[in-house]
Structure 1
Amino acid sequence: MTQASSTSPLAALLGRSSTGDLVAPAPQGDVLARILSAGLRAPDHGHLCPWRYVVITGEARPAFAEHVVAAVARQEPDAPEKKREKRRRRFSETPMIIALGMHLRPEHKVPVMEQEMAVAAGAMNVLNALHMEGFGGVWISGGFCEDRSLLSQLGLDAPHRLAGFLLVGTPEKPERTSNRPEIDEYVAVWDGWSPVTFGADDRRR
């Protein structure tokens, strides 16, 4: 039973949290197509469609993991072996990896930052859709995501880039919603005159 069928959409959304403790199965077929279609419903200034999703599953995972480890070695030569092995294990064992490609057009009047934000909004839509279909995921990134050799494997030659990866599967344990701060510290109402202040900013000074 999916999250959406057992509770209201907003309640399901408020119950989402990221988790890296993932086991099989991962979404497939029409379910996966619906989930990725949610990514393409994100705001997209200029209708540039900058989303590029690369799905990595099955026997392709260990092979891709070696590309990731090599990218870590090139981009972070001082990274300890423990970190490289963690990358190898996660990319080899997670049921599904979705690379978040950004097909960028620097020459376009729409700023590159807005194109990148469209990809980020799409990734969040995918995470929400995964949750509502009963799956889980976590968004990871790092310096290795800038490695041009790795990006070429994903069809992302310059100037295109990578926003990271979604690690996808079924939560191994019942999802526990992470504690979030109260909205009062992060929301302000402008009175038409004075600059606003946020409680969260005052507390962290």
Structure 2
Amino acid sequence: MTDTLTLLKTRRSVPPIAMTGPAPTPAELDAILSVAARVPDHGKLAPWRFIVIEGDARLKLGDAIAEIFVQDNPDAGPDRIEVERKRLALAPLVVAVVSTAAPHVKIPMWEQEMSAGAACMNFVIAANALGFATSWLTGWMAYDRRFLDRLGLAGHERLAGLIHVGRGKPPEDRVRPVLADIVTRWSA
């Protein structure tokens, strides 16, 4: 089995709360992002983009998350609000993958959206190949226009994922689907 197959068979998400530093160096992050951008992309549209959230920017965006959360949950206690505030500060690096899919004369939106999902997965695989732990998450804020506006997304853009990156030991593997339950063979 190749190293790639071993990685794909053993990769696990690590919860951001279990992550430590250091974050990828600028060169490592560039390598990860370069791999993330090498995905199927019908029409060469690059229907995705990346927003790097690091350092104090994680805390400032966390303040925005907490503010929005309190608007919708005015009775929330301080501990719960603090959980929301620290959402992006647990891992040393968070990268937002943004789907920029838009109507196109030849390329269906669905294909563009799947390309953004593939960019997320390539990012995760590349980061793991370099020895980092990752967790590809969304959460309520990925669907909240106020948060998306703060993050700088245009009206038609959607958040494909917030990928948390750091160091950490993966948890034990979870139960995976049984192939017989998910695989069929078509025949005429």
> Is the contact made by 1:13 and 1:132 (CA closer than 8 Å) also made in structure 2?
no
Structure 2, unaligned runs of 5 or more: none
> Is the contact made by 2:48 and 2:101 (CA closer than 8 Å) also made in structure 1?
no
- Equivalent residue number for residue 7 of structure 2: 12
Q: Distance in 1 between matches of 2:112 and 2:55?
A: 31
Asked if 1:185 is matched to 2:181, the reply is yes
Deviation at 1:149, TM superposition (A): 3.3
TM-score, reference length from structure 1? 0.79
> Is the contact made by 2:120 and 2:161 (CA closer than 8 Å) also made in structure 1?
no
Q: Distance in 1 between matches of 2:178 and 2:80?
A: 34
What amino acid maps onto 1:168 in structure 2?
V
- Equivalent residue number for residue 110 of structure 1: 107
RMSD between superposed Cα atoms in Å: 2.2
Q: Deviations over 1:75-101 (max 9, x none)?
A: x54795455432222312321111111
- Go from structure 1 to structure 2 and tell me whether the alpha carbon gap of 1:111 and 1:92 turns closer, same or farther (over 3 Å shift): same
SS of the equivalent of 2:89 reads helix
Asked if 1:46 is matched to 2:46, the reply is no
SS of the equivalent of 1:166 reads strand
- Equivalent residue number for residue 147 of structure 2: 150
Structure 1, unaligned runs of 5 or more: 1-6, 193-205
- Go from structure 1 to structure 2 and tell me whether the alpha carbon gap of 1:79 and 1:139 turns closer, same or farther (over 3 Å shift): farther
Asked if 1:92 is matched to 2:84, the reply is no
- Go from structure 1 to structure 2 and tell me whether the alpha carbon gap of 1:174 and 1:101 turns closer, same or farther (over 3 Å shift): closer
> Is the contact made by 1:145 and 1:164 (CA closer than 8 Å) also made in structure 2?
yes
Q: Deviations over 1:16-39 (max 9, x none)?
A: 011112110121222111111111
Deviation at 1:53, TM superposition (A): 0.8
- Equivalent residue number for residue 121 of structure 2: 124
Count of residue pairs brought into register by the alignment: 184
Deviates more, 1:148-157 or 1:23-32: 148-157
Q: Distance in 2 between matches of 1:79 and 1:128?
A: 40
Identity %: 35
What amino acid maps onto 2:182 in structure 1?
Y
Q: For the pair shown, which has the larger CA radius of gyration, 1 or 2?
A: 1
> Is the contact made by 1:72 and 1:143 (CA closer than 8 Å) also made in structure 2?
no
TM-score, reference length from structure 2? 0.86
